[in-house]
A and B are shown apart, each in its own frame.
Chain A
């Protein structure tokens, strides 16, 4: 007991500040048996959940591919530090500001949308929202994949070239297999972050065209004061935690494998 006394305050604090809300969420979600959870699996709620999953999947795959190309260019450039820091800002702290950036650019009275004559509401459609979500997903991929790209030793490339391999052969048979766990891990990470994103969609005022589960939770918790809606919100939150936990179960082993080559 005496040995762990220094760690005790932290453990007690998290048990209280994280544990109590978790219990409250689960208890609230089940306060009418399975009724709340059943409700979240039909109608508008199910649609929102599926929209969130679809949007996150598209953003994750596109973001991972584009982010890897960008990272490959960035890691060996002069601007490495500036770009990586900017990536950190957009990936972790962007939230509200980047929503306004896109509203000013492609929103209903945005500069580019009036230049191009885009129809009303383009930004709030599925692909519009995907474009906005990529604005924090691509930087997140740059951050996630940069260590793996740093780990590609120049000697491997030289060895491949000396053995007569072309650049294509090198990427296909040497670099890509080493990067694969990192790439898949990146896809999963991006999925999780897009799935959890609320601030951006809320600040844009999205949701009328494309309902998302995070917006539904917020509406159930604050807007709809009718009794019972709060527990539906908690049940939706529980759905989200289950999806996020599944994501983590896939992510952790991939992350372990991707660091194997980095020593």
Chain B
């Protein structure tokens, strides 16, 4: 500590450089190794084949489309549930706010693997209980592997904390009560208030909520694999045994794409904020 105690003996620049270098080493070496692993093999030398071949490999398009579909359904459902709830809490029932906060933090407390164990169990029990009733067909349809609606329900729970935080940040920046009262006094109907007044003001918060959900659903493995479905992340693991290069290529691509997506979103919302 002697070097640090005398003021200015250690210029801040030097340890900053050291931290940057170590962090770059730790975070970029695995990434670089993975990229190298995908483009090089001892038989052919350098080739981009794993990346070009991805598109035509069996299961890639199907699993990616399933993931995108699940993500779209999750986003629509979670926003349809959360927006009215959060606006209600701000306008009419502030007492409900702590309840909403707890509900939206719970998914962070419950590990996904614990959640899915209970989820799977309740699906199995439901299957038995509903077998003699007409609802059995409904449940079976919701569990179909082509589009498992039950997975959407689980994902909505999973993304609640992220969506809550994003929407809360957006609602903080505007005076919901004044806007709504002004619009209502001018004779606007509730749907009009919602779609023409509130939602346009929340555009960047909605976008970040949607993209966080998209990223989360695209990368989700635990619940999908244990419930026996095969969206993108599960597919990557499934092919890793037979096509190692390709699974690493898909991993690299998906992380870089999600990062670019989120970075562009935060760039857009910052530009708006500075205007």
List residues of chain A with CB under 8 Å of any chain B CB: 3-7, 9-11, 13-14, 17-18, 20-25, 28, 69-70, 72-73, 77, 81-82, 85-86, 88-90, 92-98, 100-102, 104-106, 110-112, 134-135, 138, 161, 166-168, 192, 195-196, 198-199, 202-203, 214, 217-218, 221-222, 230, 233-234, 237-238, 240-241, 244-245, 247-248
Chain A interface: which of B61-69, B102-110, B131-139? Answer: B102-110
Q: Which residue of A lies closest to B12 (CB)?
A: A167
Are A6 and B233 within 8 A (Cβ)? no
Which listed residue, B10, B34, B82, touches A100 by the CB 8 Å rule? B34
The total number of A-B Cβ pairs within 8 Å is 240
Residues from chain B with Cβ under 8 Å of A106 in the complex: 30
Residues from chain A with Cβ under 8 Å of B84 in the complex: 6-7, 9-10
The answer to whether B160 has its CB under 8 Å from any CB of chain A is yes
Which listed residue, B33, B153, B221, touches A17 by the CB 8 Å rule? B153
Are A237 and B4 within 8 A (Cβ)? no
Tell me whether chain B's interface is mostly helix, strand or loop, or mixed.
Answer: helix
Are B85 and A102 within 8 A (Cβ)? no
Are B23 and A70 within 8 A (Cβ)? yes
Q: Which residue of A lies closest to B262 (CB)?
A: A85
- Interface size on B, as a range, is 35 or more
Given contacts A112-B29, A166-B6, A222-B226, contact A6 B111 (CB under 8 A): no
Please measure, in the bound complex, the distance between the C-alpha atom of A152 and the C-alpha atom of B23, giving whole angstroms.
23
Are A81 and B267 within 8 A (Cβ)? yes
Which listed residue, B100, B251, B258, touches A101 by the CB 8 Å rule? B251
Tell me whether chain A's interface is mostly helix, strand or loop, or mixed.
Answer: helix
Q: Which residue of B lies closest to A115 (CB)?
A: B33
State the Cβ distance, A129 to closest chain B Cβ, in Å. 14
Please measure, in the bound complex, the distance between the C-alpha atom of A239 and the C-alpha atom of B248, giving whole angstroms.
34
The answer to whether B47 has its CB under 8 Å from any CB of chain A is no
Provide 26 A-B residue pairs closer than 8 Å at the C-beta atoms, listed in order of the A residue.
A3-B88, A4-B88, A6-B87, A6-B88, A10-B82, A11-B85, A14-B103, A17-B156, A24-B118, A24-B122, A25-B117, A85-B263, A89-B255, A92-B212, A92-B219, A98-B255, A111-B33, A111-B36, A135-B27, A192-B108, A196-B112, A198-B221, A203-B221, A214-B113, A247-B109, A248-B105
